[in-house]
């Protein structure tokens, strides 16, 4: 896949990550023009605004519709800022193309729907403009990848991904849980993809946006899409999570950009540590293998003696003992819990296989 050519639509701050900023929704002509002009004065080169809003329940404000595109067009004519908006149907796309939208994004509810994605991809066939695909609302990296593949098959060359977190029954302090494993895995599968983060929809509030954005840059993201409004308190949608252009500027100035392979530093130390890690990883694998061999023997013994695979008391003891030891060694209870759940799951799987084999095992 070709790399999304971001060079020509990067912005000014520091090492020039991609920054897309603008309101959740276009509301009035003044709001669009004032916000866009203010963003341009801060060096922002790409303006976002939602024209059609996918709202959870009807009767909420569902976007200003086509008229908003005219306001965006005017913002571009007056400032030269590039325009980005969400499209969910071929009709949206058609209208956007007519007014000169430069970049499209596909929202989280659309990328979760293969029928809608397929329809959009076909409507976009051969289009040369960049398309950004938000992760689906549910934590499904395959579905995200699938949405991107539909665009690739349609011949779209400049494709980016936007991480906006996922819905959860219990999202904790976030609006959408930032399952960072998802974008990390997508990037592993599609190394060339431009990966942006939408800290606004992850955080759901102004206070946490900066830390989410910083985390994204720590994880080598290429930029941000961030909701910015000239008067956030009175925004018609997502007021709690929008910031104003001054706040955006301050935030971008305080965020630290990091580089995967900085030049002019010595990699000797790092290489040494990595050699040691590789050696330890190998030892861990060998220990796991030995452990599994014993699990296998125990499985045969249980089968021969008609014992249950799960021995609740033993499992609880193993878990508790290791959690206690991890706490003593300050190793992180969560990590040890996850590791032992995974090991135990695999032991059960292995022993189930032995149990159900037809031969004497």
Q: Which residue is nearest to Mn ion (CB)?
A: 24
The CA distance from 134 to 201, in Å, is: 11
Both tokens of 346, joined, read 């695999």
What 8-state DSSP symbol labels residue 104? Answer: E
Choose from ligand PEP, Mn ion, none: what does 108 bind? Cβ within 5-8 Å by kind: ligand PEP
Contact 192, 161 (CB under 8 A): no
Please choose which of ligand PEP, Mn ion, none residue 134 contacts, taking the beta carbon within 5 to 8 angstroms, the exact cut-off set by kind: ligand PEP
CB of 55 or CB of 291, closer to ligand PEP: 55
Question: Environment class of residue 45 by beta-carbon count within 10 Å: exposed (0-12), middle (13-18) or buried (19+)?
Answer: buried
Q: Which helix (H) or strand (E) holds 105?
A: strand 103-106
Residue 145 to residues 4, 25, 117, 270: CA-CA distances in angstroms? 15, 27, 12, 33
What residues contact 231, with CB distance under 8 A and at least 6 apart? Answer: 31, 244
Q: At its nearest, how many Å lie between Mn ion and the CB of residue 248? A: 15
Nearer to Mn ion, 24 or 354 (CB): 24
Q: Shortest Cβ distance from residue 146 to ligand PEP (Å)?
A: 17
Pick between residue 53 and residue 302 the one whose CB is nearest to Mn ion. Answer: 53
* Closer CB to ligand PEP, 213 or 336, in the complex: 213
Residues contributing to the site for Mn ion (CB under 5 A): 24, 238
Find the residue with minimal CB distance to ligand PEP. 107
Q: How far is the CB of 200 from ligand PEP (least distance, A)?
A: 7
> Residue 116's closest CA among 92, 99, 141, 82?
92
Which residues are at the interface with ligand PEP (CB under 6 A)?
24, 50, 54, 86, 107-108, 134, 164, 198, 201
Compare residues 54 and 114 and give the one whose CB is closer to ligand PEP.
54
- Residue 43 contacts by C-beta under 8 Å, 6 or more apart in sequence? 11, 12, 13
Cβ proximity to Mn ion: between 24 and 132 the closer is 24
Report the nearest approach of ligand PEP to the CB of residue 86 (Å). 6
- Smallest distance from the beta carbon of 95 to Mn ion, in angstroms? 20
**Between the CA atoms of 245, 17, 160 and 120, what dihedral angle is there, to the nearest 10 degrees?**
30
210 binds, among Mn ion, ligand PEP, none (CB under 5 to 8 A by kind): none
């Amino acid at each position: 896949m070709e790399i999304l050519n971001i060079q020509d639509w990067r912005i000014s701050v520091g090492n020039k990550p991609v920054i897309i900023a603008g309101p959740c929704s276009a509301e009035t002509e003044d709001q669009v023009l004032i916000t866009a002009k203010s963003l341009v004065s801060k060096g922002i080169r790409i303006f976002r605004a939602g024209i059609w809003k996918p709202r959870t329940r009807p009767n909420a404000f569902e976007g200003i519709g086509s008229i908003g595109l005219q306001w965006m067009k005017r913002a571009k004519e007056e400032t030269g800022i590039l325009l980005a908006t969400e499209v969910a149907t071929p009709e949206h796309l058609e209208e956007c193309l007519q007014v000169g939208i430069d970049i499209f994004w596909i929202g989280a509810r659309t990328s979760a729907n293969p029928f809608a994605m397929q329809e959009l991809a076909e409507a976009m066939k051969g289009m040369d403009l960049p398309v950004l695909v938000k992760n689906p609302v549910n934590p499904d990296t395959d579905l995200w990848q699938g949405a991107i593949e539909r665009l690739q098959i349609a011949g779209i060359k400049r494709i980016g991904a936007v991480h906006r977190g996922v819905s959860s029954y219990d999202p904790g302090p976030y609006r959408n849980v930032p399952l960072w494993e998802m974008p990390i895995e997508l990037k592993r599968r599609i190394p060339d993809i431009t990966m942006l983060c939408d800290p606004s929809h992850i955080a759901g509030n102004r206070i946490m946006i900066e830390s989410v954005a910083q985390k994204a840059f720590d994880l080598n993201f290429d930029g941000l899409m961030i909701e910015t409004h000239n008067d956030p308190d009175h925004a018609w949608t997502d007021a709690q999570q929008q910031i104003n252009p001054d706040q955006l500027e301050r935030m971008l100035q305080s965020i630290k950009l990091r580089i995967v392979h900085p030049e002019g530093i010595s990699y000797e130390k790092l290489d040494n540590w990595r050699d040691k890690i590789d050696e330890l990883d190998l030892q861990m694998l060998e220990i796991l293998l030995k452990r599994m061999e014993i699990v296998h023997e125990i499985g045969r013994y249980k089968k021969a003696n008609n014992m249950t695979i799960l021995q609740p008391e033993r499992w609880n003891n193993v878990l508790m003992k290791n959690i206690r030891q991890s706490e003593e060694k300050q190793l992180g209870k969560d990590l040890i819990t996850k590791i032992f759940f995974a090991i135990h799951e695999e032991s059960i799987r292995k022993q189930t296989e032995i149990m159900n084999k037809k031969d004497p095992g």
